[in-house]
Chain A
């Protein structure tokens, strides 16, 4: 479809927790300015893939390369400062901090901190609601607003790649629309988005490409239309 340059590449990633292997040879590629969906049932290993990319889980084997640089052995902090940002499952806003302080926390790396003001303007432009609620404690926001805040906080780091884990979880359909709309806007600003979803139908509508996982393996990779149009995949892995 498009021939954008590769941004992030995982090859043969094996990883797990305390000796229990969860990922079995995961290959995944993200190009610049694209939305990629990572799909699969609960427990398939999607979150573990994100944790491995963000340096929280150390891979046992395999390589993660960001723009020709191997991320091997880098701390989460160094990975964040290279522009790869992980918006965690379940939002995890800082509940007893105001909305604006949550956003400031997102701009913690040196480069992001020095551009705080401009980025804040941009984020408020994308999320007028966050601007209205800027002095409110994050814990008092609705679920949809907290998801917006979690994404906005991720954007404060001025990411090249934003990985969003299950943003539609627990949201009403209207809010899911709003979140997915934002994902498109974020991509249009020049950021690659890795969208992890159990809600495959909706994710496939916005993503250009998709990966389907089961039991820690990538079973299928291809254009969204191909995934959506494959009855076997739809039935077996996506529950559609």
Chain B
């Protein structure tokens, strides 16, 4: 075709998709374990972004430490939010609506809190990873290579925790049959609390990778979160593999689609896919049908 570099489009798609996947896996983890949707996921992403910014600019710490602080702060905030707000709602017989509304409210609160505290301006950050590489005609800034590597490591870590650790056994048992998990002596409120913390820390990780490319502002979490919701519908809610594959596939479709039409169409493409998937395969590409 007219000068499209397919390899470049695929690589760009994978870079964007790995971050969609990171966001989506957090949403999926919470859904899979607690059966609730977290509409404030994007605001935890924002917290990660601001923490990175202040750690780099005000504290002037090493970027790796700044990323670590972003994860830690967001994890702890997530644990506190779960303990103080979600726990009481989740213990009710009817928890779907209250938790959904609570996370929506939390989202609005956190955005406006950030707006009052930090102002509306975009805070820019330098690339944490310098350099641009060219491989076989594909242009790859170091930051973007780092993004994909970080995502791969993050998925490997989450997967290993779920698969091999005692806590992972507890998460999986709780997600498959909470009442029976209790009979094993599994303390599901603790599982919920830590799962929530890990999930939002994944959002913060995505933010610390993307903040240098975009910028930090009170609404920075909105688009990543919408994309993540498309991905979880696409890949099947509650499935880590689905979140990863769904994220990468969406990234590639968007990147190729934008090259064919134009960039204003990026979100249109994403939502068209969402509608198509909901129509043809409501359980997602990898999700099992729920009975």
Interface residues of A (CB under 8 A from B): 54, 56, 75-77, 80-81, 85-88, 92, 94-97, 101, 104-106, 108-109, 113, 153, 157
B172 engages A108 (CB within 8 Å)? no
Q: Kindly list 5 other residue pairs between chains A and B, CB separation below 8 angstroms, not including A94-B172, A97-B176.
A: A54-B183, A88-B180, A105-B172, A106-B184, A157-B185
Q: Which residues of A have CB within 8 Å of B172?
A: 94, 96-97, 101, 105
**Of the candidates A88, A92, A97, A108, which one forms a contact with B185 in the assembled complex, judged by CB atoms under 8 Å apart?**
A108
Distance in Å from the Cβ of A167 to the closest Cβ of chain B?
15
B264 → A minimal CB distance (Å): 42
- Closest-by-CB residue of A relative to B163 is A101
Residues of B within 8 A of A77 (CB): 182, 185-187
Q: Which residue of B lies closest to A109 (CB)?
A: B185
User: Residues of B at under 8 Å CB distance from A?
Assistant: 166, 169-170, 172-173, 176-177, 179-187
Return chain B residues, CB-CB under 8 Å to A88.
179-180, 183
Q: Which residues in B have their C-beta under 8 angstroms from that of A95?
A: 176-177
Please give the distance in Å from A76's CB to the nearest CB on chain B. Answer: 5
Nearest CB in chain A to that of B181: its residue: A105
Query: A76 near B182 (CB under 8 angstroms)?
Result: yes
Given A97-B172, A104-B169, A105-B173, do A153 and B182 touch, yes or no (CB 8 Å)? Answer: no
Which partner residue on chain A sits nearest B184 by CB separation?
A: A108
Which listed residue (B166, B176, B177, B179) contacts A108, Cβ 8 A?
B166
* Docked-complex contact B184 and A157, CB < 8 angstroms: yes
- Compute how far the CA of A101 lies from the CA of B170 in the bound complex, rounded to whole angstroms: 10
A-B complex: 7 closest residue pairs judged by Cβ atoms: A80-B185, A92-B180, A94-B176, A105-B173, A77-B185, A108-B184, A109-B185
Q: When the two chains form the complex, which single residue of B179, B186, B187 contacts A105, counting CB atoms closer than 8 Å?
A: B186
| Cβ contact within 8 Å between A80 and B180 | no
Chain A, residue nearest B183 (CB): A86
A-B contacts, 9 of them at CB < 8 A, read A76-B185, A77-B186, A77-B187, A80-B183, A86-B183, A97-B172, A101-B172, A108-B186, A153-B184
In the bound assembly, the distance between CA atoms of A92 and B176 in angstroms comes to: 10
A76 to B189, CA, bound (A): 13
Say yes or no: A96 contacts B184, CB within 8 Å: no
Q: Which residue of B lies closest to A113 (CB)?
A: B166
Q: How far is the CA of A92 from the CA of B180 in the complex (A)?
A: 7
Q: Which of A75, A76, A108, A157 contacts B170 (CB 8 A)?
A: A108
A94 contacts across to B, CB distance below 8 A: 172-173, 176-177, 180-181
Q: Say yes or no: A97 contacts B173, CB within 8 Å.
A: yes
* Chain A residues in 8 Å Cβ range of B179: 56, 88, 92
Contact of B182 among A56, A87, A106, A109 (CB under 8 A): A56
Q: How far is the CA of A85 from the CA of B182 in the complex (A)?
A: 11
Cα distance A92–B177 when bound, in Å?
8
Cβ 8 A contact of B183, one of A76, A81, A97: A76
| B180 lies within 8 A of A108 (CB) | no
Give B187's nearest chain A residue, CB to CB: A77
Considering residues B172, B180, B183, B187, which has the most beta carbons from chain A within 10 angstroms of its beta carbon?
A: B183
CB of B169 within 8 A of CB of A101, answer yes
Residue of A nearest to B182 (CB): A76
Closest to A96 in B: B176
